């Protein structure tokens, strides 16, 4: 009995101790769990997983522009190629099957990366696409769904890497490496946060992260190790990473670094501006920005380089390895290097397009209805009204186009460029180039407008008047509100000069008034566009949207349009019914003159960066940094 009592007592004590132990353990576990949850929630990023539904009633028509190839991949036995314009699907014979254009079937944001993988919320492999500003798109072959982070910085994607267990690693411009596991998005690890990620390679537990300015980070065993120029990397900017067994190859703008079992080993291909890397058995294929594909032998003590196709293979983007050989994707085509063959063979090129470039900076229609399309850095196209045969002009002066102004009186067209003011005939022939040597205050012309019996010419250092008496120039010294002139607006003898530091009103060639932010009611000094609208002016600004200025010199705000919006330089147009304004990232602002009401149009635009506008034959042409669209004016309903 006594023994039993003892046993009972001991059991009771033991049970009590055990209970205490369990309680303590439970408390500790709870605290740990709570703490982990807090840490998780701190690092977690809110997002929506939603089907992407293309906008309905898109009335814009696309004026075709050249495709730019950026990424390629095989999915469901078809070849998919992604680029700023969208996604194209080809069959094995290279026939284009389907196209998904940004702004229409896809969000209005360029595609920047593509991969095939199985995510946690799906049982099958899917095509995963990274966008510049709209997060991740996932395509199952029929429908798109969008992983849309609430934080804009988590939506600015630079690289994607599907890894095991249905996870997706996401490289961003500012938030470093994120992890999507099908249920949540979170930062992978604090040491990999706040980075500008350029490239990802490896797995969730052994990951190489290439950055814009901090070299490469090797994340493994719960820690990250950093390699910069001090550790042997040829440059701090990483362009590409490739892994093969124990070896890692990290490409930079001036060569590659080889790592062996995570340790820096040697520099290869010194001087190459690397964009992509493919590892063969005995050598590396190195894609470059300006030297095509270069073979870099791995065995030689002092590796010799053998460049191939420097001209043809410009701007290499990616390698694709298959059993039959290697494919290389460049900006302008897909090429194949057969397994035992020599030389690169083109197997796919972009479909024909009407325009010669996508990045539009100026638009104008002349009196014959010809459309003049100026490019950011590719000259200009002249699109005759009756045909789709385009005349392309690109030379040392017509290169960076800022503004095109057709002179109905003389039939000539003035083209404002970064390298002078070029006068052209209606047929696109170059007649005259005016530069500083001819009396302009600068070579760089930002805007041009007819004024009195001549031209007013805007430059970053002042304003030049050009007429039969020659060129005369003025800047701040002569009373202009600021030297940096962006935009000119003309109404009779009145000239409005929009500058970085305010607005100058010129009457009959003399400065009448200067308006600056503050006392005048103007909300923003940086003026990017000015157009006369009836009895008043509408003034586009960089940062405060659009304001009205009446003839008495009073500014007034508009509902919706006077907001934190950047109007692009000279991206305003007035028609009989509408006033239109192109913005930086907010689409097209449209003002109904009769209803005195502004509305915002985004659906159907290839980019929300609207850079130029023109009206011709009942159409409104809308130029963006990612292509040109047009719409019949009556269908543009604010």
Partner 1 sequence: MNKTLATIFSLLITPILAFADGGVLIPRDKAQPDPAILSLEEMEITVQIDNGDARVFVRQVFANHTASIEEGNYVFALATGATVSDFAVWDGPTRIPAVILERKRAEEIYNQLKQQSIDPGLLQMGERGAEEAKRSAIFSARIVPIPAYGTKRLEFEYHESIPVENLKSHFAIPLRPDAYQAQAARHLRINFELRSAHAMNNFQAAAKAFPLKLDENSPHLIKGHFEGQNVSLTEDFVATFDLDRAGTDTLQVITHRNPISAQPSPTETAPIRSNNEPGFFAAETLLGSGKSRSAAPGDTAKDAGGSKTLIILLDTSLSMQWEKLERSYQALETLLRTLKPGDKFNLILFNSQTQSFQSAPILADSGAVQRALDFVRASRLRGGTDLQRALDEGLRQSSNSSGKLYLVLLSDGGATRGTIQNGKLAAWYETAWKRLPEASRPKTYIFGVGDDANLPLLKMLAREDGVLESVLSTEPMDFKLSSFLSKIGRSPVGQLQFSIAPEAAVNSVYALQDSAFSGWMATWVGRFQKAQPDVAFTVRGVRDGEPFAISTKANLPRESLDHAQLPRLWARARVDALLEKIQREGEDQASIDEIIRLARQYKFVTPYTSFLAVPRALLRPRVIRPGDPVLRVKTDESIVSVVALFPFGLVQKLRYLSDEDTWQTRFFAPKDMQDGTHSVRLVLRDRAGHTYREAKTFVIASKTPVVQIKLDQKRYRRGQVLDLKVAASQSTRTLVARLEGAAPVGLKWDSKAGVNTGLLFIPDQMIPGTYRLTVTAEDIAHNMGSQGVDIEIVP
Of residues 570 through 609, those in contact with partner 1 by CB under 8 A are: 584-585, 609
Instruction: Please report, as residue ranges, which positions from 552 to 571 form the binding site for partner 1 (by CB under 8 A).
Output: 566, 568-569
Instruction: Please report, as residue ranges, which positions from 109 to 148 form the binding site for partner 1 (by CB under 8 A).
Output: none
The span from the CA of 99 to the CA of 281, in Å, is 36
- What torsion do the CA atoms of 520, 526, 529, 534 make, to the nearest 10 degrees? -10
CB of 177 to partner 1, least distance (A): 16
Q: What binding mask, one character per residue, do residues 304-343 give for partner 1 by CB under 8 A, x or -?
A: -x--------------------------------------
Which region, judged by CB under 8 A, interacts with partner 1, from 11-19, 364-372, 384-392, 430-438?
430-438
Instruction: Please report, as residue ranges, which positions from 617 to 636 form the binding site for partner 1 (by CB under 8 A).
Output: 625
501 lines the binding site for partner 1 (CB under 8 A): yes
Among 230, 535, 559, 594, binds partner 1 (CB under 8 A): 230
CB of 476 to partner 1, least distance (A): 5
Q: Which residues pair with 81 in a beta bridge?
A: 72, 88
Among 396, 535, 559, 594, binds partner 1 (CB under 8 A): 396
Q: Which residues pair with 560 in a beta bridge?
A: none
Q: Is the Cβ of residue 418 or residue 533 nearer to partner 1 in the bound state?
A: 418
CB of 514 to partner 1, least distance (A): 11
CB of 473 to partner 1, least distance (A): 4
Among 196, 219, 335, 372, binds partner 1 (CB under 8 A): 196
Question: Could you tell me how far CA 519 lies from the centroid of its own chain?
Answer: 37
Q: What burial letters (b/e) apply to 163-182, b meaning 16+ CB within 10 Å? A: beebbbbbbbbebbbbbbee
Instruction: Please report, as residue ranges, which positions from 25 to 64 form the binding site for partner 1 (by CB under 8 A).
Output: none
Among 263, 295, 436, 577, binds partner 1 (CB under 8 A): 436
CB of 286 to partner 1, least distance (A): 13
- Whether the Cβ atoms of residue 237 and residue 198 lie closer than 8 Å to each other: yes
Centre a 10 Å sphere on the Cβ of residue 592 and count the other Cβ atoms it contains. 15
Q: Which residues pair with 538 in a beta bridge?
A: 531, 548
Which region, judged by CB under 8 A, interacts with partner 1, from 142-150, 258-266, 346-354, 523-531?
523-531
Sign of CA pseudo-dihedral 138, 140, 144, 145: negative
Among 206, 407, 438, 494, binds partner 1 (CB under 8 A): 438
**∠ at Cα 217 (281, 32), nearest 5°?**
125
- Whether the Cβ atoms of residue 54 and residue 626 lie closer than 8 Å to each other: no
Which region, judged by CB under 8 A, interacts with partner 1, from 141-149, 267-275, 552-560, 587-595?
267-275
467 burial (CB, 10 Å; 0-12 / 13-18 / 19+) is middle
Of 515, 544, 518, 448, the C-alpha closest to 488 is 448
451 lines the binding site for partner 1 (CB under 8 A): no
């Amino acid at each position: 009995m006594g023994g039993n009592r003892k046993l009972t007592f001991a059991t009771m004590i033991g049970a009590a101790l055990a209970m205490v132990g369990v309680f303590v353990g439970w408390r500790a576990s709870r605290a740990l769990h709570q703490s982990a949850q807090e840490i998780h929630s701190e690092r977690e990023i809110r997002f929506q997983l939603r089907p992407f539904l293309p906008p309905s009633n898109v009335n814009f028509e696309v004026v075709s522009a050249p495709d730019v190839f950026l990424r390629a991949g095989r999915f469901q036995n078809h070849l998919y190629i992604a680029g700023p314009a969208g996604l194209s699907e080809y069959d094995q014979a290279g026939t284009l099957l389907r196209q998904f254009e940004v702004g229409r079937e896809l969000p209005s944001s360029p595609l920047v990366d593509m991969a095939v993988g199985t995510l946690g919320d799906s049982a099958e492999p899917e095509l995963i696409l990274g966008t510049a500003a709209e997060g991740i798109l996932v395509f199952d072959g029929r429908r798109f769904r969008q992983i849309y982070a609430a934080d804009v910085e988590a939506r600015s994607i630079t690289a994607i890497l599907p890894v095991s267990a249905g996870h997706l690693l996401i490289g961003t411009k500012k938030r470093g490496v994120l992890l999507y596991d099908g249920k949540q998005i979170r930062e992978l690890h604090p040491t990999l946060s706040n980075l500008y990620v350029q490239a990802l390679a490896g797995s969730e537990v052994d990951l190489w992260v290439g950055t814009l300015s901090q070299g490469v980070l090797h994340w493994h065993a719960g820690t990250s190790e950093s390699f910069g120029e001090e550790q042997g990397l040829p440059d701090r900017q990483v362009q590409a990473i490739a892994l093969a067994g124990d070896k890692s190859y990290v490409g930079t703008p001036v060569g590659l670094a080889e790592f062996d079992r995570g340790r820096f080993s040697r520099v290869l291909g010194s001087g190459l501006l690397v964009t992509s890397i493919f590892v063969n058995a005995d050598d590396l294929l190195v894609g470059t920005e300006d030297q095509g594909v270069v073979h870099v032998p791995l065995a030689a003590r002092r590796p010799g380089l053998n460049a191939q196709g420097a001209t043809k293979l410009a701007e290499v983007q990616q390698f694709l390895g298959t059993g039959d050989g290697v494919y290389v994707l460049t900006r302008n085509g897909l090429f194949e290097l057969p397994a035992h063959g020599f030389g690169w063979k083109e197997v796919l090129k972009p479909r024909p397009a009407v325009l010669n470039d996508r990045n539009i900076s100026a638009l104008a229609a002349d009196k014959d209805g010809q459309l003049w399309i100026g490019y950011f850095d590719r000259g200009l196209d002249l699109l005759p009204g009756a045909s789709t045969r385009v005349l392309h002009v690109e030379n040392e002066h017509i290169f960076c186009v800022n503004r095109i102004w057709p002179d109905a009186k003389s039939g000539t067209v003035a083209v404002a460029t970064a390298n002078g003011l070029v006068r052209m005939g209606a047929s696109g022939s170059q007649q005259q180039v005016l530069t500083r040597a001819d009396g302009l205050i600068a070579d760089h012309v930002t805007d041009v407008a007819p004024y009195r019996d001549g031209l007013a010419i805007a430059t970053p250092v002042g304003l030049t008047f050009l007429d039969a008496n020659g060129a005369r120039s003025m800047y701040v010294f002569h009373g202009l509100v600021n030297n940096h002139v962006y935009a000119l607006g003309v109404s009779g003898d009145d000239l409005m000069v929009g500058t970085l530091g305010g607005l100058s009103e010129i009457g009959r060639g003399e400065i009448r008034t200067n308006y600056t932010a503050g006392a005048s009611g103007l909300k923003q000094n940086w003026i990017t566009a000015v157009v006369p609208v009836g009895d008043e002016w509408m003034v586009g600004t960089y940062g405060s949207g659009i304001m009205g200025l009446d003839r008495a010199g009073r500014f007034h705000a508009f509902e919706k349009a006077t907001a934190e919006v950047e109007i692009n330089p000279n991206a305003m147009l007035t028609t009989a019914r509408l006033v239109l304004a192109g913005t930086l990232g907010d689409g097209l602002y449209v003002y109904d003159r009769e209803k005195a009401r502004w509305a915002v149009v985004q659906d159907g635009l290839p980019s929300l960066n609207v850079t130029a506008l023109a009206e011709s034959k009942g159409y409104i042409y809308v130029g963006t940094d990612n292509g040109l669209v047009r719409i019949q004016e009556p269908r543009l309903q604010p």
